[in-house]
A and B are shown apart, each in its own frame.
Chain A
Amino acid sequence: MSRCLRPLDPIDAEAVASGAEPVLAPDAAEHAAVCPACGDLVGQARDLDRALGDLSGALPPLSGLAERVTRLRGFSRRERRTYALWKAPVLLAGAIGVAGLTLLLLPSLSAGEPARVGATALVPILAFARSLARWFPDFARVTPYGLEALSDALRQERALGLVSLLLLLPAGFGVTRVFGRARSRR
């Protein structure tokens, strides 16, 4: 268990050890300088760097490897929990949602009396929430039955099916080629 109340993320420890800018905590270097536990962590990262450097000897590092790893890696547990990283999309989604709801309310707000504006405003929100809640189960319940009816009606138009089947041949061939090319690039 760490002796520090605010232990550094290993990524920041590695960044400080290699002289790079920390990813998560901007004050990681200052914190490691005054905190013995985090200083030890940075020291370990520095030792690891040195050991890895000794292993590779005089061989030059692969060009662009670090950038590729950085670009493709997943989030660390700390990154997932850091709200500061996520606040931009969360706040934007909230702001757009509030703007949308406000526009939904506008007609009822202009029609309602000032004294009842609050109650009047609730009506479209409740109606919207209720219709949204009903839409999904309704859609899931009705779609298979609707597709069955659609299938019954379309079966009279066998020419449509045969044309679709004929067109599927070149389309399927194209799809196979595209995916084959993608596999070969991998």
Chain B
Amino acid sequence: MRIAAAVAAVVLFPVSASGSGISVVGHDLVISTRVSGRVVAVASDVRIESEVGGDVVVWGGDVWFGSAGAVAGNLVVFGGSIHGVPGHRLPVRGMVSTPGTLLPLYLAEMRRAPWEAGVLSPVLWGLRLLALAAWLAVAVTLLYFFGSPLARAADRAESDWTGALLAGALGVLTIFLTAAAALTLLPSALAVPITVVLGATAVAAKVFGMGVLFLLVGQKVSASFSPARRPAALALGFAVLGGVSLLPIAGAIVWSAASVAAVGVALHSRFGAPRFRVALSS
């Protein structure tokens, strides 16, 4: 979202609004007089210098409070951070929520030029390792309960890599475009459930597909495909991909490519569904 904001021409718009709410896309916003309604900003930073009577919802931007700024409703910031007045509590009467708190860290890392001195803090390394441990735990759980579908999906991906990669690229693109079209053209009552379902499908496909990729890479490296060696192969494949993901620059590229491939592997194999079903009749 911040990248989209950078691509768009970002113009500082001082807003003097009163009465109803405000919505902006791709423009930074300064609230200098009282707003009684809701404030929504997409790919924009918001500076609150006056009181907002409703909620403030920001997607992909930071929120700054001036000395007279206050929010009577809730403050929700997706993929951004909140900066209050130093030494004062946040002047928000409702709930404060930042569900994408780790995203700015990730984006800051992505924006950093390769030649810049980039020593990651131990905390960030710790978070990365914990995320990797969580990935492996989820993959092992999937393998335990869905061993055969994972094996089938790995087998199918190996037999048609081009199809799986194409399915990944086109699948991710289609999901994004459908969500954008739904959110822009449909009423919220329809757009929100559609987007939630699309998001859940994408997450499920990525999680399942990453498990398949770990398994397939491990099986290829160890040259062993027997069920008894599958857990060890999964660990080996994870060690290879997870190890590469920790490398500077190349790691982010490889992990992103693996994510797209994972979605493709899951969709292409229909989550490892069997090719034929045997109907048993009494």
Q: List A residues at the B interface (Cβ < 8 Å).
A: 23-24, 67, 70-76, 79-80, 85-86, 88-90, 92-94, 96-97, 99-107, 128, 135, 138-139, 141-158, 160-162, 164-165, 167-168, 171-172, 174-175, 178-179, 181-182, 185-186
Contacts and interface: CB of A to CB of B under 8 A. Distances in A.
A102 B185 contact: no
Nearest to B98: A138
Nearest to A173: B170
Contact of B140 (A79, A89, A142): A89
Contact of B136 (A96, A101, A138): A96
Given A92-B238, A149-B57, A172-B174, A178 B228 contact: no
B167 A106 contact: no
A8 to B, nearest CB: 15
18 contacts: A72-B151, A73-B148, A86-B140, A97-B129, A100-B127, A104-B126, A104-B130, A107-B122, A128-B130, A141-B97, A150-B57, A152-B40, A154-B183, A161-B185, A168-B177, A174-B170, A178-B166, A185-B163
B183 A144 contact: no
Contacts of A107: 122-123
Given A153-B23, A168-B178, A182-B167, A89 B127 contact: no
Contact of B126 (A79, A101, A144): A101
Given A80-B144, A175-B171, A178-B170, A92 B239 contact: yes
B192 A147 contact: yes
Interface string B114-137: 000000001101111111111011
B129 A100 contact: yes
B184 interface: yes
Nearest to A157: B25
A181 B268 CA distance: 10
B235 A182 contact: no
A10 B184 CA distance: 59
Given A101-B130, A103-B126, A152-B40, A74 B184 contact: no
Contact of A171 (B174, B183, B230, B231): B174
B49 interface: no
Contacts of B122: 103-104, 106-107
Given A75-B144, A138-B97, A167-B177, 11 more contacts: A72-B148, A75-B230, A85-B232, A89-B232, A96-B130, A97-B137, A103-B126, A107-B122, A147-B191, A154-B25, A161-B183
B133 A100 contact: yes
B208 interface: no
Given A148-B192, A175-B170, A102 B126 contact: yes
A151 B191 contact: yes
A162 B171 CA distance: 19
A155 B184 contact: yes
Contacts of A178: 163, 166-167, 170, 268
Nearest to B171: A175
B160 A143 contact: no
B67 interface: no
Contacts of A74: 147-148, 151, 227
B99 interface: yes
A92 B235 contact: yes
B239 A71 contact: no
Contact of A93 (B126, B137, B185, B227): B137
Contacts of B268: 178-179, 182
Nearest to A106: B122
